[in-house]
Structure 1
Amino acid sequence: MTLAGCGGGTGSGEVTLKLVAADYGDSAENSSEKYWADLVEKFEAKNPDIKVEVTVLSWSDVDAEVAKMVKAGEAPDMAQIGAYSDYAAKDQLYAADDLLSIPVQGDFLSSLTSAGEVNRIQYGMPFASSTRLMFYNKKLFADAGIAKPPTTWDELAADAELLKDNGVKYPFALPLGKEEAQAETMMWLLAGGDGYTDQVGSYTLDSDMNVRTFDWLKKDLVDKDLVGPVAPGELNRQEAFNAFSNGEVGMLNGHPTLIAQAKKKGVEFAMAPLPGRSGKAKATMGVADWMMAFKQNGNRDEIGDFLDFVYSKENVLDFSERYNILPVTNSAADAMAEDAKYKQLKLFLDALPTSQLPPVGNTSWAHVSADIKAQIGKAVAPGGSPGAVLADIQNKARAAEAAE
């Protein structure tokens, strides 16, 4: 889906910027195409010598497509995707210092700024952020005789059994398909007491705790048919969200965009922290998606002008409101916190400053993330071995780390 910039004909000195962006919509009606079309029209009205062409792709394809473009020597001027650090390590990106005005760069939430750095230089500009909570269907819970959300894994499994016995199609939806398996995986690893890396940032994917976590998922949820009719490795996040919005899911992990989707379908739902092994999870997962600017075509000044406009408080709030995504700037976050219409986002917003992000600053992360997406579903498949799958991912991660 490509959006040509609105505006007049070609004049001397005119520059056309190309941006590849991910789609945050769940249907053609609310595709990110519309957000970018509105924003570009406003920008070009103020900057007639700069045209912007935006190509919007699904999350399943956008990272791989940008990687192909860069490999072919056809990098876009900007990409809004899931990982930046491998491009930064190859000196293919402008630093944020080279692009943004000081007030705009200083407005990013500090935790997101540091996550966008490689060797203490910011290359990744956060574009959207979220934390994760467990959503549950209040009607399905009530019908199954469940009075409150689970707070431990044992309670979660018991509630899933009750939902299954009551005919719920997906007692607990577990999307480990390629769309966002790395996020679902990290949520469970944190809930199990560990995560992707140790305190110095080295990968620990096959730690004893992580293997125990996936052993539990396989034996206590998947093998007991508590995750629905689609194998976790084949279930993508958006498909799980669609099933929740259709009233077919008892519980699943979700981010703020699910609020509007479920409301639109009239689903009565509530949110709670994902249970830990024996109580509250050690940390909530945070996610940031990234904007980056490639050096290949030059156009540094024009890119900077456009990105300063993208990150204005009004535009950040507009995007956050359209897609129920948390803002990445202090000015927009403060405005959201003070406005009652965003009250359902408060739980997510409160968790953001202390949430744990994936190791996006590791230049190997894009490769490791892609490997997790490709393989992790096998860990819970019939006959699968969580320990063997995690060890394989860890060995490849270690090799990628050594090659940095």
Structure 2
Amino acid sequence: MSALGLTGVLGGCGAGIGSSDVTLHLVAADYGTSAANSSRKYWDALIDKYEAGHPGVRIEVDVYSWNDVDRKVKEMVDAGDPPDMAQIGAYADYAAEGLLYRADDLLSIPVQADFVSQLAEAGRVNGAQYGMPFASSTRVLFYNKELFAEAGITPPQTWEQLAADAAALKAKGVKYPYALPLGPEEAQAETMQWLLSGKGGYTDSVGSFNIDSSRNVETFTWLKDELVGKGLTGPVPPGKLNRADAFKAFAAGDVGMLNGHPSLMAMAEKNGVEYGMVPTPGKDGRSSATLGVADWMMAFKKHGHREEIGDFLDFVYGEEQVLAFSRDYNLLPVTSSASRTMAEAEQDKHLKPFLEQLVTSELYPVGDRAWAAVNAAVKKQIGKAVAPDGDPQSVLSSLQVTASRAGSGQ
């Protein structure tokens, strides 16, 4: 991280391990939308650059889609042959089983200190950091400016205004006045965004799961009655609508508004859809918190090579590499140094609304070993809460039972 004077640190560390003959295996998720922009291209370029200065270390990388990558790593772990490093969606289960190196066993102090504070905090289990944030994003409300102008409405700041806007859009024949993707692809994100806007969340103020709280039940009851029940969420039932399909519909001009992350900007611009972005509406005003999402890098202890892994990860988290990845995939940097650079750079001004949201964002409770089970259950069940015959209280209580059982190891 040359901006912080770490070039010498990395060079010295590399020289110390350069005489070894080590191959490290990395499994990574693919953030690309096609072979043309696959994450493999990013990793191949980064690894070529690293290996050129570290002739004794070889990095082998396997890149899998998000549909497969977590399962692939789990299969490797279950077979007793985990990769040296994995860049996936969750780390807490592996940390709880004692399989991972701590971040301070691997990273130099300046690199570890450079992580954005709330992301670093989310990577901790029992006070120790095991999950190293790799990519992050936040959510804002996207709206179609042309459809809003035709309906004579302005972007909402409250739930009541959002419902009124959706009704006006429906009256103009908009296919999806508000797209509510509670399908299995990423239901946990839309769910948390709404829970936060209702002053609730997956957990309470001390970090314990509180999914069936009165505030959360009230939020999903409102969604069921005031949006879904009034036909304001489009022709596909929310429980069957995936985020990717909702994004495609927005890019096709068929959606009035939806919660979105930075990648939606390029999709909309490619199709000539003029869009606006505003903070997420809340129950009584703009939501005081928004969803922050981070994906994680972790290192398994099974095969050793702690020094080599640490040196490589110091390089991965250099400002140049972090900025390159963030810019390639319209994501937010996970380090403070890269965030400052992006905030001041003209080329990154389109990401400023998301950067501004990051400081007040709340992340999934990924440090709780129960999160993996809760996450899977939300994807399968939450759509039922807003179905015509659905019962929000019953569905949320069932998810709370899942959290309690998973937390106790049942």
After TM superposition, the score normalised by the length of structure 2 is 0.92
- Give the match for residue 23 of structure 1: 30
Deviations 1:232-252 (A, max 9, x none): 222222222122122221111
List aligned pairs for 1:1-400, cutoff 5 A. Answer: 13-146=20-153, 148-400=154-406
Deviations 1:256-298 (A, max 9, x none): 2222222222211110111111212131121111100111222
- Give the match for residue 8 of structure 2: none
Contact 1:19 1:53 in 2 (8 A): yes
Deviations 1:315-356 (A, max 9, x none): 000011111111011110111111122112112112212211
Cα shift at 1:12: 9.4
Contact 1:20 1:79 in 2 (8 A): yes
Distance 1:263 1:24 in 2: 19
- Rate the CA distance shift 1:230–1:26 in 2: closer, same or farther, 3 A: farther
Distance 1:13 1:331 in 2: 31
Distance 1:55 1:235 in 2: 30
Structure 1 letter corresponding to 2:216: N
Deviations 1:1-30 (A, max 9, x none): xxxxxxxxxx99532222222222233332
Distance 2:170 2:63 in 1: 38
Cα shift at 1:31: 2.2
Contact 2:124 2:130 in 1 (8 A): yes
- Of 313-322 and 254-263, deviating more is 254-263
Distance 2:299 2:111 in 1: 16
- Rate the CA distance shift 1:307–1:12 in 2: closer, same or farther, 3 A: closer
Aligned residues: 393
Deviations 1:92-114 (A, max 9, x none): 00111111112211111122111
Contact 1:257 1:323 in 2 (8 A): yes
* Alignment gaps of 5+ in structure 1: 1-10
Distance 2:159 2:78 in 1: 44
After TM superposition, the score normalised by the length of structure 1 is 0.93
- Rate the CA distance shift 1:223–1:55 in 2: closer, same or farther, 3 A: farther
Distance 2:300 2:289 in 1: 34
Deviations 1:68-89 (A, max 9, x none): 2212223111111111111101
Distance 2:60 2:253 in 1: 38
Deviations 1:98-141 (A, max 9, x none): 11112211111122111111111110001011111001111111
Contact 2:288 2:360 in 1 (8 A): no
2:37 is paired with a residue whose SS is coil
RMSD of the TM alignment (CA)? 1.8
Deviations 1:140-190 (A, max 9, x none): 1112222x2011112111211222222222211111122221111100001
Distance 2:46 2:271 in 1: 28
- Rate the CA distance shift 1:381–1:284 in 2: closer, same or farther, 3 A: same
Contact 1:60 1:178 in 2 (8 A): no
Structure 2 letter corresponding to 1:142: A
Distance 2:355 2:337 in 1: 13
Contact 1:284 1:355 in 2 (8 A): yes
Structure 2 letter corresponding to 1:51: R
Distance 2:67 2:254 in 1: 23
Where has structure 1 moved over 4 Å in runs of 4 or more? none
